[in-house]
Every structure is written in C-alpha cells, then in structure tokens.
Structure 1
Amino acid sequence: MQCSWKAVLLLALASIAIQYTAIRTFTAKSFHSCPIPVNCSLSQDADAAERLCDESPTFAYNLSTRKTHVLILATTRSGSSFVGQLFNQHFDVFYLFEPLYHVQYTLIPKLTQSKSTTDRRVMLGASRDLLRSLYDCDLYFLENYIKPQPVNHTTDRLFRRGASKALCSPPVCEALGAVDLHLEEGDCVKKCGTLNLTLATESCREHGHVAIKTVRVPEVSDLRALVEDPRLNLKVIQLVRDPRGILASRSETFRDTYRLWRIWDGTGRKPYNLDVTQLTMVCEDFWNSVSTGLNRPPWLKGKYMLVRYEDLARNPMKKTEEIYDFLGIPMDGNVERWIQNNTRGDRSSSKHKYGTVRNSAATAEKWRFRLSYEIVAFTQRACQQVLAQLGYRAARSEEELKNLSISLVEERDFLPFS
C-alpha cells in the first residue's frame, strides 16, 4: 500500500517535472534525469512511473537537439580544408577551423617527449572538453588555451580565424560589408581586427548548427564519450584519402619536415635515417578508425559517415548532397555556388597553400606525377592493409602509375551507418 502511494505521488511529480523540463529546455537546453524509487516492488503503478522516468529524459533531449553538431575527423593534407568549406559556406552553420590547435600548442611543451599513453590521454581529455564547450557555444573556454591570455575576452591569436566565415561576418566583425564576402583569410583578419569572443559566442548561438574540423584526433573511438553524450547531437564525418596522395601533398607543403622524403624522390636513394612513421602512423590511424566505423558499433549508429576525398573530388555536388542528407540539414544555395566556383578552377588561382580554389578531380590525381614509383611501391607495401580496406588499387609499374586512364580508386559505396 505504501509503495502504491509512493508511485502515485511519483506520477504527479513526474508530470510536473516534464512540464518544467519542456520550458527549461528552450532556454537552458539542459538535460534532466528522473530518479526511480528503489523500495517499490514491480507493481503496475510503479511500472508506469518507471516508464515515465525513462521517457522524460528522452523527451527533454528531443527538444534540445535543434542544433546538429558536426565533427570533420581528418588528417593533415587529406582535403579537410575543402570539406570544411562545405559547412563554412552554409548560412546556418557556425564553423570553426582547427580550434584544437590551441590545445596542442599549449600542452605539448608541458608533456614529455615519450609520447606515452598518459600524454595521449591528457591531450584527448583536454580536446574533448574543449569540443564539448565549443558545441555548447561556450567560446570563453578557449581562453584557457590561448597564449597570451585574452584581455576582456578579446584576442588576435585565434588560429586561422579567417578560415571561419562566421568569425569574419557581422555581428562578430562589423567592418565587413557585402563587397567583402569572398575575402582571403589574411584580408579578413586585417579588416576585422581583434576577435571579440563574446560576440563570437552570440553568433554561435544564433546559428542552427555547429561544425568543427580537426586533424588532431587520431581515431573515431577517441570521440566515444562525445558521441554518447546526450547533451550533444554529434555526427562524425570521417574523411580519408589515399595515403600516397597524403604523402605527396605533405612533402610539397611541409618541405623541411619531409626533406628526407624529397631527397629520396630526387636522388632515388632512400636515406638511412628516414622517419617512416610520418607515413605509417597515417595508415595505422586510418586502419584503426575506419575498422571501428565499418564494424558499426551500436554507439555509432546514425552518427558516422565515411567519406573518401577522391569520391568528393570527382563528384563534389553529389557527394555533398549525400553528406547533408546524412546530417539531416538542408543544403542551401551558398554551398552549391561555392562548389561550382571552387571545384573547376586552376590551382594558380589560389593564393594560399591551404586554398580550396582548384580543379578538384585533377588535384586528387596529382600525386601520381609527384612521387617516384619507388616511393609509391614502398607506400603500397607499408600501407597494404588500409589501401585494400579503403578501395585504393596498387600501381604495379611506373607506366601504370602515370597512366591516368587506369583508375587507382575502386568504385565503393561506403554507406552511412544509420
């Protein structure tokens, strides 16, 4: 009898809690749980109360997921800047370019050089905390990692601010007008001056969705805590590229860091002290991360999509439509126009080494003329597993490598896990 009385009272309280939660969700976007009585037997009334408690967090969560949180998970020189622009151009997406740079820049000098598991955990923990805050439009949290510390929430040290359209537009930057819509990164920074993080936070909250690009998280499994966080509606776009193309692009872009690879390419002699981990770590991270995604664990259901850069480069409009369909976000005309204007140009029309104005299909194949066949063959042996996993064919000779009529990309459908 006592248990039945408690269950009735719980039903009344749960009803009030649901109404309160609905009101609070629209303002605070908070997540509420509902306690379950532990002393009741499984009476019919208690079952009903328990079902109400089970459903009320879901009810609150559904109301609080108006924003879609997008994470572009990539590695350096895999086409991630290009993919980022597919979100940066959308009128209702607040896009941030590599905010985790600040975590890496701040923490690496403090960590040991052993690359220990502890160091990796510290980095990933800080990165997840920052991502969670940024998706909640708390840009003040970034101040913990910006050096020197922002004064009055203003800074001129945000990494690649000019790559984020929302940070170079009103109300964050009132100095720009309609004629400044297509500024180069540096021009944006010059005209806008210091970044006011309060205005940036307000702009983030006014946008319907938040997208972040990072090359500083090795594997999708490192994001599990964020993916499973009920306060977020996180969806991961994992971008991959042929490791041979990544190596060619890095060797050209980071000439000092990849100097020994360039010596090998130019002389035909492999240096004895060549750091092969610059290649093998890419392949290992791809293998581990993609294996997780393709195994379709329950925690990734509806949250993961694998995209090959080559597929996007060859058919950018179709692939972009598929991405937006997976995310459940309507693709607007700004994105379509950007694709039309930025996937058919010549590389010389881009002033910046990270620029995105180019013939995308031709760019995806350029590595075949930049690397010697000896380096290509070495890469194919070192990365054999992941090349097969992602559908990249091996070139069996110098002639086959240079013959563009022979495709080295298999036709594959990597359907989203939904």
Structure 2
Amino acid sequence: MPSPRKISRRFACVLAMSLTVIILILPAQLFEYSTYFPNITPKASQSSLPENNLSQIKYVPKLTNAQKIIDKEKEMEDITPISEKVTKASNVQKIINYDDQTEETVSSNSVKKVIILAYMRSGSSMTGKLLEQSDNSIYFFEPLRPLQWSYSRKIPLIDFNNKTRRLTDSQSLKRAYTKTLSGHFNCDFRQSYINVITQKALTGCNACQSFYDCIGSRRIEPVVTKCLPILEQLCNTSLNRIIKVIRLNMETAQILLKSVPDLKIVHLIRDPRGILNSRRRIYRASMKYITDEAKTICTSMLENTVATMKLIRKETFKDRVATLYYEDLGKDPIECSKRLFKFLHLPFTERVEKWIRTNMMGLHTGGNPFAVSNKNSWATSQKWRRMVSLPFASAIDHECRQLYNLLGFLPANNTAQMKTLSVDLLHKNENIDLSVI
C-alpha cells in the first residue's frame, strides 16, 4: 500500500496537470465562443483583436467536426476494411477542403450576384424568398429604401464616421443607389449608411439574424461598427448574393452591370391591375390615386422594358438580363423556377422544390398582405379579377395601353371576360425579344 507521502505527491502532480490544462485550453474555448457571441468576449480577447477584422477568427466548429471524423477514423483503423478506409478518408478530405474554402473569403469569380428589379406589390418578396432558398445564399431586402426616404422625406443618413448626410437631388440619390448596391455585392457595407445596414424587413435576410441579434435596438454607429464583422463574414462566405429592389430603374442598373462582374438582373413584371388592386387594399386608395398610379407605374414599367430590350441586343449584356412574368411563376411555379434558376446558374435542389410546394402551391390566398408563406401563387396573381369592378380595370387599361401592346396584357372588355379565370388575359408577343424566363 502506498505511503501517505506518495499519495500526496501523486495528488499534487494530478492537480498541477489539471491546472495546466485549464490554463492552456480555457482561453481557446472562450475565444471560440467569442466568434459567435461577441458580447461575452473576455476583455483581454477584445483588446488583442482589431474590432473590425475577422481575419484572425477561425471558423472553429466546422474544423472541429472534421477533426472528430479523423479521430473516429483512427479509432476504427484496426477493424475497417481498406476499401472503406479509402472512401471515408476521401469524405474527410472533402470536409477539410470545404472548411478551407469557407474559412477564407469566397473568390469573387465564384459568387452569383443577382438583382430582382421589380415594383411594389409585383410578387417581388415571394421571388426574393424563392431565390434565398438556394444553398449558401444571402438575401438583402430593399436596401435602397432608407436612401429614397432620405431624398423624399428629408431623413438624415448616418455614415460610418458618425456624420449625417441628406440626399437632396436625384443625382446624389442615383450615386448612393449604385454605391450601396455595389457595396452589398462586395460585402463592403461601409460604403453605405447605418440606416441601410440596420433596417430589418419582414422578409429580409434570414442568414443575417446573428448580426441583428448583435445590434439589437442599439442602431448607433459604435454598436453597428462593433457588430459589422459578423455581417461581413456572413456575406464573404456566401456563394449567392441576392438583392431585391423596387426603387431602381434599368438605366441605373446598367451602370451596375458594367461595374459588377457577372451581375445578372431579373426584371419582374406583373399585370398592373393586379399590382394596383393590391396597393388599393393596403392604402384604401381613391380612384384618382389609382388612375395617377396607373400612369406612373405603366410608364416606369414601359421604360424599363424598352431598356431591357436594348440591353439584350448588346453582346455584353444579352445573357445577363431577363424578364420574368409573375403570372408565369404563379401558373407553374416549379417549371418556371427551374428556368429562373438555370438562367442564374443556381442549383435547383430538393429543398427549393419543397419550399415552392409549401409556399407557392398551397391553399392560402388571404391574411397578411406582406407575408410570403403558405400562399397559392396562381390564385394570388389572379385574385384581382374577381375583386375589382369593370370601371376600375378599364381606367387602368386606358393608362397602360402602350405597355399592354408591348408585354401582351389584354384589356378587360366586359365583366364576364374579366371574372372568368379560364380566359387568359396575357398573350405574349412572340416577335418581341424580352428574354422571357
């Protein structure tokens, strides 16, 4: 039996080894947690890392998972047949390679960049959420809205130097639009404003939740600057960067086509009667408002369509701009989505198809007008035909004659025709090249 003195010495050795392990491992564990929970980072770690740089922070969990598999392979080495060892080792290497790729900034050449250029109540939120379902995507909902509000409502913008600025003319607004969108595609959010980065829309950026959690309700420059590396990392490791806008015209978008390599633009259009019926339900608008809005929206859609046709004729842009009818997306969501994903070079996966069946082919047509879940897209796109009066539709038809001739929408000749859904009010002109998806 060991003497008490030997037992004491053994206990002292064990205690010393335990303390050594704690001293060496605990800081590393705390550092790992700080990557995901910046608010609990120890003061010493905060002072040792630049606030705005994630280059020293490793993507620990994925590497840890790979290491666990490697360790498991070592445990099984004596009992695993050689053929199985080769297969499993190959799988481990794939994980390591993936970790190496995602830990660093993704090469800009491999990133898909997409703008959905649309109109308010045109089905753009649904389309944006559809594209967000593609793997490894980040989706930005209406980043131009605060800029437009600064211009129209005289709301000051706050930059990352904590200085305020107001957009007072159309040229400064146009420059702010292109600078902000370019910054989002390049994950350089400091080109934009605090107002833009901190807005959280109902259907915006699921991947950005950790950034929103970090800033909370403290939408001030010091807090946003501290949390910004989270958003930068999320963006830099995304393979698909998707932006939905309703405040951009094709003329300004052409500037981005020239300055952002591989950018693709989807011009989303919808029957103006469906758009205006939806707006009327939200704003309880008068008939005069509807008539004025019909003139505005049809002029804008016409100009963007003509600009699209011109871009398609140019060799540089012909494969980078396309037209998508919301009615087509509603009529056959799966097949139309496959064509959309093919144009954007995005994989159409089982996950995407499941989302479509759940959210675009359901029974639900009412409820929150801003919701995009559990809808029936075809019923939603045609709902206006059973809701509006013939004078309402005729007033829009009158203002939108030129647009109808170009896009193929048909005027409502009588109430029976309008309300009979088996009668198609869209006959596209096959002689006009709009690169329709």
So what's the TM-score if we normalise by structure 2? 0.65
Partner of 2:177: 127
Given candidates 208, 227, 246, the residue that maps to 2:257 is 227
User: Does 2:417 align with 1:405?
Assistant: no
Does residue 210 of the first structure (1) align with residue 225 of the second (2)?
Answer: no
Separation in structure 2 between the aligned mates of residue 71 and residue 143 of structure 1, nearest angstrom = 20
DSSP 3-state at the match of 1:235: strand
Distance in structure 1 (CA, Å) of the matches to 2:143 and 2:294:
24
String of CA shifts for 1:216-238, please: whole Å, max 9, x gaps.
11x21221111011x53210000
Q: In structure 2, what is the Cα distance between the partners aligned to 1:253 and 1:162? A: 17
- Contact 1:248 / 1:367 at 8 angstroms: preserved in 2? yes
Specify the alignment match of 1:293 in structure 2: 308
Residue in structure 1 matching 2:151, options 107, 114, 121: 107
Partner of 1:179: none
Do residues 393 (structure 1) and 417 (structure 2) align? no
Measure, in 1, the Cα distance between the counterparts of 2:400 and 2:365: 32
Corresponding position of 1:416: 435
Q: Does 1:361 align with 2:378?
A: yes
Q: Tell me which amino acid in the other structure corresponds to 1:236.
A: I
Q: Which residue of 2 aligns with 1:243?
A: 272
**Unpaired runs of 5+ in structure 1?**
1-26, 28-62, 112-117, 147-154, 176-188, 262-270
Query: How many pairs were matched up?
Result: 308
- CA 1:370/1:348 → structure 2, altered by over 3 Å: closer, same or farther? closer
- Residues 71-125 of structure 1 show CA distances to partners (whole Å, capped at 9, x for unaligned) of 00000000000100111222221111111112112232349xxxxxx83322221
User: How far is 1:163 from its partner?
Assistant: 2.4
2 CA distance for matches of 1:404 and 1:78? 19
Does the alignment pair 1:92 with 2:107?
A: no
Higher deviation after alignment, 68-77 or 85-94: 85-94
CA distance in 2, matches of 1:88, 1:402: 34
Determine what percentage of the aligned residue pairs are the same residue: 26
The counterpart of 2:299, out of the listed 284, 294, 300, is 284
SS across alignment from 2:193: helix
Is residue 314 of structure 1 aligned with residue 335 of structure 2?
no
Q: Is the contact made by 1:95 and 1:210 (CA closer than 8 Å) also made in structure 2?
A: yes
Measured at CA, do residues 161 and 200 of structure 1 come closer, stay the same or move farther in structure 2, by a change above 3 Å?
A: farther
Which of structures 1 and 2 has the bigger CA Rg?
Answer: 2
Alignment map for 1:12-161 (pairs within 5 Å): 64-110=108-154, 119-146=169-196, 157-160=198-201
Counterpart CA distance in 1 for 2:255 and 2:365 is: 42
SS at match of 1:81: helix
TM-score of the superposition, structure 1-length normalised? 0.67
**Corresponding residue number in structure 2 for 1:183:** none
- Classify 1:288/1:332 alpha carbon distance in 2 versus 1 (closer, same or farther; 3 Å): same
Deviations 1:43-77 (A, max 9, x none): xxxxxxxxxxxxxxxxxxxx742111100000000
Measure, in 2, the Cα distance between the counterparts of 1:121 and 1:277: 25
The answer to which structure has the higher helix fraction is 2
Residues 1:166 and 2:185 aligned together: no
CA contact (8 A) 2:134 2:346 kept: no
| Cα 1:75/1:174, change in 2 over 3 Å | closer
Q: Secondary structure at the match of 1:301?
A: coil
CA contact (8 A) 1:300 1:417 kept: no
Alpha-carbon distance, 1:173 to partner: 7.0
Kindly provide the amino acid, as one letter, of the partner of residue 252 in structure 1. Answer: R
2:390 paired with 1:373? yes
Counterparts of 1:140 and 1:332 in 2: how far apart (Å)? 34
Distance 1:162 1:365 in 2: 23
Q: Cα 1:340–1:90, aligned 2, differ >3 Å: closer, same or farther? A: same
What is the root-mean-square deviation of aligned Cα atoms in Å?
Answer: 2.8
